[in-house]
Amino acid sequence: GRGEGGVFRLTADGKELRRIARGFWNPFGLLVRKDGEIFAAENDPGSRPPCRLLNIVEGGDYGFQWVYGSAPVHPFVAWNGELRGTLGMVHPCGEGPCAVVELGGGVMIPSWSDHSIDYYPLTRKGAGHTSARIPLVKGSEFFRPVCMTPGPDGAFYLTDWVFSSYPIHQRGRLWKLEIDKSAAAPWLKSAPDPVTEEARLAQTLRHGGTDLTTSELLQIAQGHDPYLVDAALTALSRAGLTPEQVQALPPADRVWAFVAMRRADLEDPRWVRAFITDADPELRFECLRWIADAVLTEFSPQVEALLADASLDFRLFEAVLATWNTLRGEPGAGVTNADVLAERITNPQTPDRLKGYALRLAPPTHKALTTELLSGFAQSKDEVLRLEAVRTLAARKESAQIAADESQPAQLRAEAILGTEDPALLKKLAAHDSPVIRREAQIALRFTEHDTSFTMVADRPPFPDTAAWLARLDALPGAADAEAGRRLFFNPKVALCATCHRHSGRGNVLGPDLTLAARQGDRA
């Protein structure tokens, strides 16, 4: 393909090689159980940790494509099933996993970077599995378990890289791990769960043994069981649908039928031609994804035209920009190429709304983004461009004038306060009638001699005690203020999150992109 990792199957004599699943960075560890279930440990997550324990199924797409760059900040890359037709993880696993070994009704995974060996009991959930991470062995900085295998004596044997250095250092080790299964071990799941009805149906759908109608398959495809959804899409891809038949379906069905037909033939442009101008933004998104994944250059004029379509929302704008970069031969540019973004921002032909979207993605310090240009944008009649200009000025510490302007809306001034360092102005705003302005100014005075509004609470829980912090949050009165939380995330003095992390296009990718953090696990 175009560099996306795969899981392959072949005969014992090395023949009949075929790929059974795609969409991986590096499925380094692989386990095939006696019952045919396949599990993999994804070795690297790029900028979107954690690493993944995956259940591999025939025809599955696990979302990653190397061609779009090593840091998967891209609208057409999924890490946990965020895109239609992709499958996510059974459970996060430790960093740098290189093996998956069966133990009872679960698996053990050694983690190179976490210096550990963890156990993951596998519990059937619909057609898939859920799990939990149970630490078994923990070592020092010089314990880096890599490959692991069961021995004939019932023990497990593993190699240890020892040092973080990649060059050969001749200090590696071999360990023997013994587990007394007769002792009380409540963490150990004794045997795999029996196959569920949902898993049987999914297997039947994948291998063509069903007489379900198109309508029934579409209903399954819109369900909440990701493995059944995936199997239904595979079955739909064999249904011989035509673009005309799909156009006649209800809107909710059309997009899922369209996604299913990707599996039939990604090189077939008829589907994109039929739906590229569809009114449904989700279908237009899937068209752009199809164009980029298949590199259908015949659609370059339509994609170019969309770059001037002021009706786009931010998600569609990212998709158009990523597709345009792919068709011009730079798929890795995605939505993060600073010079491309600057060109769009400074181009007089770009609608103000799209300038705002590009400004959100662009580095605030880019040389093309002058203070004069941004100050002009801050007066725009387009609310998106106005807001993003103020946020960019705040990131550059150049927003004090807007923070002081009584004619500006309170929320906009609150954003500007993030880039204000004038103590006299902040003291004045800390007594403002607007609670939003007052609060942000008080936060901006933290850790200064003028900080009189905040006191440290003596009974704060320890930082690692997540349960205690969640209980504390739940005990607070009133509703959460998402915008105030957003400003804390980007606050350069108090929270500092954006120093390392990106969210919704803004910030840095020194650490994980946190845009999709809410989908990566539970609240804790």
Q: What is the DSSP string of 39-73?
A: EEEE---TTSPPEEEEEE-TTEE-S--GGG-SS--
Span 428-445, mean pLDDT?
95
Chain segment 192-250, per-residue pLDDT in tens:
999 999 999 999 999 988 889 999 999 999 999 999 999 999 999 999 999 999 999 99
Sign of CA dihedral 57, 58, 63, 65: positive
Which of 261-270, 286-295, 453-462, 474-483 is predicted least confidently? 453-462
> Which pair of tokens denotes residue 514?
């946190």
pLDDT band per the 50, 70, 90 thresholds, residue 49: confident
With tokens 């190699």, the residue in question is 159
Sign of CA dihedral 475, 481, 486, 491: negative
Report the pLDDT value the prediction gives residue 456, as an integer from 0 to 100: 61
Report the pLDDT value the prediction gives residue 514, as an integer from 0 to 100: 85
Task: Please state, for a pLDDT cut of 90, what percent of the chain lies above it.
Answer: 80
Q: Of 319, 385, 386, 389, which Cα lies nearest the Cα of 354? A: 385
Task: Please state, for a pLDDT cut of 70, what percent of the chain lies above it.
Answer: 98
| Cis upstream peptide for 135 (omega within 30°) | no
> Which pair of tokens denotes residue 268?
């077939």
Taking all residues of the chain, what is their mean pLDDT, rounded to a whole number? 92
